[in-house]
Amino acid sequence: MATSIDPPASRPGTAPRRQRDRLLIPDVLRGVALLAMVIAHIDPFVREPLAGWAFLSAQINDLASPLFALVMGMSAQIMLRASGGTTRAVWVVITQNAVRGTVLIALGLWLETWGTWIAIVLAFLGVLLIVGTPLVVLGTRALLVVTALVWLVSGAVVAWANASLGTSALPPVLDRLVEWTLLGRSYRLANLLPFFLLGALLLRHGFQRDRLLLGMAMLAPIAYLARPIAERVLGTEQFSGSYLDTLHDVGLVFTAYVVVVWAATVPSGSAQRALGWVFTPLRAIGSVALSLYVLHTALVRWGMQHAAQDPTTLNHMLPWTLVLVVTLAVGVLWWRFVGRGPIEWLTGVISGRYRLTARRKRVVT
């Protein structure tokens, strides 16, 4: 199986030695997803954007969560492959990811209490990790079938849930579970799970320029345009989680994946060096994405307090700029001089993936 190619261009500044076993492409894709999410979350600071920005911002926002799900599936596959494949090792990975998912849920619930306008995604990703990891154990053909089936039923199930459960009064715990799986306003397991499983399949296939990558490049614009064309023809707006809405996300995710893989596998040395200046900050923030997610949420909270002091100003460029610049700068500097993110490390310790004492070589995702 082909693996992620790590061109010399991606290493103008080398992270600490213990980070060298990370794969380039998943980190870059995760960095793209984080950057997209940060930009989407600071968008409300600018109430009179430049012409065209509202449309571009909407596409950036739509890309973030399914791309995160795709990379999480890759990471689960990396962990299972590195485990050796024995029954005991596989169960260890499933258990560790279940614990990590639980930590993400708890962290997401805590961030929701901060009172920001951000639709916190962490709890949804935690549920995704818990449910998705056991499915990645399946063989490739079985996983292909399950991925297709999940996508085929997701739109219908979400539509049914909206019609049957959308106005129902449910007990608090059950209400949360239904929200995370089917009725989330911005995210839901039913629509993220196909991307998670697809990420595992892409990791198995390998990151390479081949017919699959070409096919994804050809399918991306078709999938992306399906929703706006249908809305214009039918005259009705597609609900979040519908088949066409998911196809729209497929177009965005496929585009990001094709561009990153194509760039990462460029054979020219001069092109590699040029691309390295783009890839290095993306892989840096991608390797500490969870910590930066929490950091940018705190910064947005500060920015909201700052903007509230001057409600007559339409465009609050100071918090917009500071949230973006500080998040990126902290991510790059932490990756360069420290290595593993603090919340990534803590989550690993809680799940038993990392040890508090002796350093051991591990594949990190």
Residue 289 included in any domain: yes
Question: What pLDDT is recorded for position 350?
Answer: 92
Task: Please give the tally of structural domains in the chain.
Answer: 1
Is residue 361 predicted with pLDDT exceeding 70? no
Residue 97 included in any domain: yes
Is residue 225 predicted with pLDDT exceeding 60? yes
Residue 240 included in any domain: yes
Instruction: Pinpoint the alpha helices (H) of the chain.
Output: 24-42, 53-82, 87-112, 122-136, 140-164, 172-178, 189-205, 211-234, 243-264, 269-287, 289-308, 317-337, 342-351
Of 169 and 27, the structure prediction assigns the larger pLDDT to: 27
Question: What pLDDT is recorded for position 1?
Answer: 41
The boundaries of the domain holding residue 250 are 13-351
Question: What pLDDT is recorded for position 19?
Answer: 62
- Please report, rounded to a whole number, the percentage of residues in the chain having pLDDT higher than 90: 67
Residue 171 included in any domain: yes
Residue 62 included in any domain: yes
Residue 362 included in any domain: no
Question: What pLDDT is recorded for position 75?
Answer: 96
CB 344 within 8 A of CB 291: yes
Of 62 and 15, the structure prediction assigns the larger pLDDT to: 62
DSSP state at residue 314: S
Residue 44 included in any domain: yes
Question: What pLDDT is recorded for position 2?
Answer: 43
Of 199 and 7, the structure prediction assigns the larger pLDDT to: 199
User: What tens digit of pLDDT does each residue of 66-106 get?
Assistant: 999 999 999 999 999 998 888 999 999 999 999 999 999 99
Contacts by 175-184, CB closer than 8 A, 24 or more apart: 180/123, 180/124, 180/127, 181/127, 182/157, 182/158, 183/158, 184/124
Question: What pLDDT is recorded for position 9?
Answer: 36
In which band, very low, low, confident or very high, does the pLDDT at 107 lie, cut at 50, 70 and 90?
Answer: very high
Is residue 12 predicted with pLDDT exceeding 50? no
User: What tens digit of pLDDT does each residue of 149-167 get?
Assistant: 999 999 899 988 888 876 6
**Distance from C-alpha of 271 to C-alpha of 259, rounded to nearest angstrom:** 14
Residue 347 included in any domain: yes
